[in-house]
Amino acid sequence: MAIRQRTIAAIAALLCLLALAAPVAAGQLEDAKDAESRGDWATAIKLLRPLAEEGNPVAQGHLGMFYEIGRGVPVDFVEALKWL
């Protein structure tokens, strides 16, 4: 019975941590979109790359587009395909 309670407590703790992490990622994505709308490509890329590397599909799409059209980075179709 004690193992079951510890397992439930561990799952609850993990869910709480995940709930706290989601707003941070959303805020970072919004900040990247704001930087993009201002034409601040360097900041947008700096904010998008970690999210893209973590598997965020929106961040991956934006980063791939940046490489495809050369926004803040040299045009690189291979790198663009990596993210798209």
pLDDT at residue 55 in the model: 94
> Sorting pLDDT into bands at 50, 70 and 90, what band is 10?
low
- Convert the pLDDT of each residue in 29-62 to its tens digit: 999 999 999 999 999 999 999 999 999 999 999 9
Buried b (16+ CB within 10 A) or exposed e, 46-84: ebbbebbeeebeebbebbbebbbeebbbeeeeebbeebe
Cβ–Cβ under 8 Å, residues 32 and 52:
no
- Return the structure tokens found at 83: 């993210």
pTM: 0.67
pLDDT at residue 46, as a whole number: 95
Which pLDDT value is given to residue 15?
A: 58
Residue 5 is classified by DSSP as H
pLDDT, residue 69, reads 93
Question: With pLDDT > 90 as the criterion, what percentage of the chain qualifies?
Answer: 65
